[in-house]
Structure 1
Amino acid sequence: MKSSASLLLSQKQSLVLTPQLIESIRLLQLAHTELRQFVEQEVEKNPLLELTTNDSEADDDFSSVLGEDPPRGERENGAEPSERLREEKSTRDTPAAGPGEDVNPERFVANPETLHEHVARQIALTAFNPQERMIAGALANHLDDTGYLPVDLLELAGILNVPLSVVERVLAALQLFDPPGLFGRTVRECLELQLRQQDRFDPAMAVLVANLQMVADREFKALQQLCGVDEEDLLDMLHELRALDPKPGHRFQSGGPESIQPEVWVQPSREGGWNVELDPNTLPKVLINESYFVEVSRLTAQNPKDQAFLNECMENANWLVRSLDQRAKTIIKVAAEIVHQQDAFLRHGVTHLRPLNLRTVADAINMHESTVSRVTSNKYISTPRGVFELKYFFTVAIGSCEGGDAHSAEAVRHQIKAMIAAEDAVLSDEEIAVRLRENGIDLARRTVMKYREAMNIPSSVQRRREKRGWP
């Protein structure tokens, strides 16, 4: 066959993800705190954007609501309009406290002390020589958030080019720091340090700490023999052990306390349905100062570079406003469909939670599953039943013995927990599975065990030991 070259004309369509489209998709999965940080960064970069939470201020300042034009500025010292825009933006965003103006005292509250700050302060007050202080700083840098020291001392000594005995001597001094248990390399050492500072690390307690796995497995008879104590003494030792802090570093905060703020609120309506609304406090309100844009455009009309910068600012501002509006509409659309699907849960509780997946919601509102997944990530909804993450309502379906409607995995877990809480005689996993099948839930014993362990509920053997008086 003879080969030859030819030209063919064809048409095809393809979806191109522009940077702005990618950014709009990313906005969907941001929680309200992350969204506010993103918006604040955009407002800082764009002189045409203003972030406000006061409608009355918006009525006075923005042309989008027929507000008063901002004062006209003049070029000073030959400054370019684009530079002056940024300077004026910075000036307008900086609050100035006038005479007699109330000052928020929360601005002057000190941040909580972190673990590393707490340790550094104690190192500064300890009588170390320069070499020991250097070693102490290196050890403190390896301290994790729980207060443990996950480092090999021999390797660290080689890196610092100091004898291992000196590193061990400095570590021994650091292990006396407050709170007790810091710089322990294992759970056993952490608990041992705390007991030593309480002067309670006797031979019997040393044996108990050396066999923590037996404590976790509740092998109390064997522990009683190993420690050489009677039942009453062992109970006292176990109570002392449980009063210790296995993670002493967790009492320090790495930042400010975080609270859950729901973005969607659900309340009963007068007609018998549900009102689904977005919380306005979680939605950053961004407005475009169009009059400011017009005013500065007059000054930059003869300078193509400055005019291009101003037009780019306006384009980015319009994109941000549209993206935030689309994000809010998408969240309320997804939340409303979830509320519709889980109506029985809102009326009767967790036992009526329906099995639900992303595809069901996506098909109902004509969206892609990935969009629904992004919308429901890290977002919370306030209902008459409490505050839940939107992901909570998506659960696996468990079949029915009688061929009826499937059961939600979360509802089944709730039934297992209720059975164990109300048991007179301890129920085994097989007995729980039998009772569930009597209620029409087809669940295997292994699945019962998996759900029970996920809820941190002890096995029937361990629960039986507790009923006999063991802790």
Structure 2
Amino acid sequence: MALEQKAELRLTQKLALTPQLQLQLKLLQLPQLELSQFIELQLMENPMLELDEETENDHEKEVSEEAEEPVAVDKLEKIMIDEYFAERADDGRDLGYFNPGIEEKPSFELFYSTTSDLWEYLLWQLRLSKAPDEIRAVAEIIIGNIDEDGYLKATEEELAKIAETNIETVKKAIELVQGFDPPGVAARDIKECLILQIKALDLGNTLVQSIVEEHLEDIRKKKYETIAKKFNVSVDEVTKAVKIIEKLEPRPGRNFSKIHVNIPVPDVYVNRVEGEYQIILNDEGIPKLRLSKLYRQLFTEKDLSSDEKKYLKEKFKNAVELLRSIEQRNRTIYRVTESLIKFQREFFDKGISYLKPLNLKDVANDLGLHESTISRVTSNKYLACEHGVFSFRFFFSNALPSNHGSVSTTFVKELIQKIISEENPANPLSDKEISDMLKKQGIDVARRTVAKYREELKIPPKSLRKQKIIKEETE
């Protein structure tokens, strides 16, 4: 068969994402911090963008003045800019994020207490110490070798070499620092840390100290009878001693650590005002952009080369597309929040126990958007309301059957946690027993499902929750 070439006309359909749509999708899934970083990068790369540092009224005045004296650009660019400013005039001002009358939002960092630096705190105590200068000098080196959890990470030999002194002086310096607050600081291991705290409680040379010294592993495995037999005491006495040990701090530097904690930054605030909910999009920390008037005026220059005009038009188009995409992102997040309030009204009114089953498709159908769009909006974003700060995904959960209709898996987890918190520690409930209790409340949950939810809640199984309390037999 001879090979030949010929032209054919075929009609096919395929989905092509325009650069504008790709940008919108990208911005939609960016969390607050990454959005801010992306905008700052665009500011550096595109001369057509600049920070809008003026007040809202000044900005409106500028837009009005520019409308009276339009920039002499070609028809495409003129339509784009006119449409953009027309949208800004009536888009978000009634959505919350442009509302000048909103009461200033309290920073969520105010709800987190700040702590002193552990090393500064120890050095402050050292300065108040009346120990000899030689001991104090070595103690300062010791403090510098304590980690964030409060443990000494250098050996006596290493410290002696650094301080150019003898082991005896190092031991005295360690003893000095171990006498500082918090109790247990400068210990070399968990056992020494707990013993230091036990001595601070005047419980040295007691059953509590003996158990820590010889039976830490048996405590973890709850082998109380083995411990009781070893020290010839009752299991009840061992149980009381273990309760004291459990209250000790295995990481004495915990409350003094300055390790950065990632506090979720709310993308949306939902405030209840006179029985209705007000949605405020959080734009704090996000650079506010506007088109650069200076660079737009360059379009009017007659001595620009064709390459220069092409460059300016491209940057102008990219700038307008970015501004539009940011506005579109804000609109979509606002609409999704509205839909969440609609579906989860009882949660916002009464709390977590009233959270209903909900899936992405429900919200997508409600807003006339694709399910993938809702997935992008709810990814890595947080909502703050009077009940706390929640991930958007928190509001979506599967349904479980009950006598009163369907209930959310989140609510079932809350019930399981409540049931376990109220159980008898001497006779904890099995997963099957918890399943039976839920069924009595009209919620049909299998034993395996209970075990799965319990693990997700990081609750140990029955065998590890059991605390044996046996009364001492009298002869």
Q: TM-score range by the shorter chain?
A: 0.5 to 0.7
Q: What aligned pairs does 1:7-26 form with structure 2 within 5 A after superposition?
A: 7-17=7-17, 21-26=21-26
The match for 2:449 is 447
The match for 1:42 is 42
1: distance between equivalents of 2:151 and 2:377?
A: 37
1: distance between equivalents of 2:4 and 2:11?
A: 23
**How has the CA–CA distance of structure 1 residues 466 and 267 changed in structure 2, closer, same or farther, with 3 Å as cutoff?**
farther
**How has the CA–CA distance of structure 1 residues 68 and 349 changed in structure 2, closer, same or farther, with 3 Å as cutoff?**
closer
Deviations 1:62-109 (A, max 9, x none): x4242799xxxxxxxxxxxxxxxxxxxxxxxxxxxxxxxxxxxxxxxx
2:222 counterpart of 1:218 = yes
2: distance between equivalents of 1:66 and 1:299?
A: 20
Q: What aligned pairs does 1:53-92 form with structure 2 within 5 A after superposition?
A: 54-59=55-60, 63-66=62-65
Question: Could you tell which deviates more after superposition, 258-267 or 205-214?
Answer: 205-214
- C-alpha contact 1:36 1:284 (8 A) present in aligned 2: yes
**How has the CA–CA distance of structure 1 residues 126 and 327 changed in structure 2, closer, same or farther, with 3 Å as cutoff?**
farther
Which of 304, 312, 316 aligns to 1:314? It is 316
Q: What aligned pairs does 1:448-467 form with structure 2 within 5 A after superposition?
A: 448-457=450-459, 465=467
Q: Offset of 1:323 from its aligned partner?
A: 1.0
Deviations 1:203-254 (A, max 9, x none): 9747636654432343323233446666557744652464223484684334
- C-alpha contact 2:187 2:193 (8 A) present in aligned 1: no
The match for 2:33 is 33
2: distance between equivalents of 1:146 and 1:257?
A: 18
Deviations 1:347-402 (A, max 9, x none): 444333222222232233233333212211222223454432211111122233x5
Q: Offset of 1:443 from its aligned partner?
A: 0.9
- C-alpha contact 2:32 2:265 (8 A) present in aligned 1: no
**How has the CA–CA distance of structure 1 residues 327 and 301 changed in structure 2, closer, same or farther, with 3 Å as cutoff?**
farther
The match for 2:415 is 415
The match for 2:434 is 432
Question: RMSD value over aligned CA atoms?
Answer: 5.0
2: distance between equivalents of 1:383 and 1:362?
A: 23
The match for 1:93 is none
2: distance between equivalents of 1:228 and 1:314?
A: 85
- C-alpha contact 1:276 1:335 (8 A) present in aligned 2: no
1: distance between equivalents of 2:54 and 2:419?
A: 49
- C-alpha contact 1:381 1:390 (8 A) present in aligned 2: yes
**How has the CA–CA distance of structure 1 residues 197 and 64 changed in structure 2, closer, same or farther, with 3 Å as cutoff?**
same
2: distance between equivalents of 1:427 and 1:338?
A: 36
Normalising by structure 2, we get a TM-score of: 0.63
Q: Offset of 1:258 from its aligned partner?
A: 3.3
**How has the CA–CA distance of structure 1 residues 380 and 227 changed in structure 2, closer, same or farther, with 3 Å as cutoff?**
farther
Deviations 1:269-309 (A, max 9, x none): 76xxx545233544846342453233344558424555444
Which of 380, 386, 397 aligns to 1:395? It is 397
Q: What aligned pairs does 1:200-349 form with structure 2 within 5 A after superposition?
A: 205=209, 208=212, 211-226=215-230, 232=237, 235-236=240-241, 239-240=244-245, 242-246=247-251, 248=253, 251-255=256-260, 258=263, 260-265=265-270, 267=272, 274-275=276-277, 277-282=279-284, 284=286, 286-298=288-300, 301-304=303-306, 306-349=308-351
**How has the CA–CA distance of structure 1 residues 375 and 68 changed in structure 2, closer, same or farther, with 3 Å as cutoff?**
closer
Q: 1:410 corresponds to which letter in structure 2?
A: T
Q: Which runs of 5+ in 1 are unaligned?
A: 70-110, 154-164
Q: 1:265 corresponds to which letter in structure 2?
A: V
Q: 1:371 corresponds to which letter in structure 2?
A: T
Q: Offset of 1:409 from its aligned partner?
A: 0.8
Q: Offset of 1:428 from its aligned partner?
A: 4.0
Q: What aligned pairs does 1:343-422 form with structure 2 within 5 A after superposition?
A: 343-400=345-402, 405-422=405-422
Q: Which runs of 5+ in 2 are unaligned?
A: 69-113, 127-135
1: distance between equivalents of 2:423 and 2:190?
A: 37
**How has the CA–CA distance of structure 1 residues 217 and 51 changed in structure 2, closer, same or farther, with 3 Å as cutoff?**
farther
Q: 2:413 corresponds to which letter in structure 1?
A: R
- C-alpha contact 2:352 2:411 (8 A) present in aligned 1: yes
Q: Offset of 1:318 from its aligned partner?
A: 0.9
**How has the CA–CA distance of structure 1 residues 434 and 234 changed in structure 2, closer, same or farther, with 3 Å as cutoff?**
closer
Question: Could you tell which deviates more after superposition, 51-60 or 354-363?
Answer: 51-60
1: distance between equivalents of 2:306 and 2:185?
A: 66
**How has the CA–CA distance of structure 1 residues 54 and 222 changed in structure 2, closer, same or farther, with 3 Å as cutoff?**
farther
Q: Offset of 1:41 from its aligned partner?
A: 3.3
Q: Offset of 1:331 from its aligned partner?
A: 0.9
2: distance between equivalents of 1:434 and 1:198?
A: 43
- C-alpha contact 1:43 1:49 (8 A) present in aligned 2: yes
Deviations 1:147-178 (A, max 9, x none): 8899xx9xxxxxxxxxxx979988x9899689
**How has the CA–CA distance of structure 1 residues 359 and 199 changed in structure 2, closer, same or farther, with 3 Å as cutoff?**
same
Q: Offset of 1:3 from its aligned partner?
A: 4.4
- C-alpha contact 1:52 1:284 (8 A) present in aligned 2: no
- C-alpha contact 1:224 1:234 (8 A) present in aligned 2: no
- C-alpha contact 2:270 2:279 (8 A) present in aligned 1: yes
Normalising by structure 1, we get a TM-score of: 0.64
Question: Could you tell which deviates more after superposition, 210-219 or 431-440?
Answer: 210-219
**How has the CA–CA distance of structure 1 residues 46 and 423 changed in structure 2, closer, same or farther, with 3 Å as cutoff?**
same
2: distance between equivalents of 1:364 and 1:65?
A: 37
- C-alpha contact 2:150 2:253 (8 A) present in aligned 1: yes
Q: Offset of 1:326 from its aligned partner?
A: 0.8
**How has the CA–CA distance of structure 1 residues 220 and 267 changed in structure 2, closer, same or farther, with 3 Å as cutoff?**
same
Aligned with 1:5: secondary structure?
Answer: coil
- C-alpha contact 2:271 2:277 (8 A) present in aligned 1: yes
Q: 2:288 corresponds to which letter in structure 1?
A: V
Q: What aligned pairs does 1:189-200 form with structure 2 within 5 A after superposition?
A: 189-192=189-192, 195=195
* % identical aligned pairs: 26
2: distance between equivalents of 1:249 and 1:212?
A: 21
1: distance between equivalents of 2:334 and 2:193?
A: 53
Query: How many matched pairs?
Result: 395
2: distance between equivalents of 1:53 and 1:228?
A: 79
**How has the CA–CA distance of structure 1 residues 2 and 253 changed in structure 2, closer, same or farther, with 3 Å as cutoff?**
same
Aligned with 2:12: secondary structure?
Answer: coil
Question: Could you tell which deviates more after superposition, 284-293 or 438-447?
Answer: 284-293
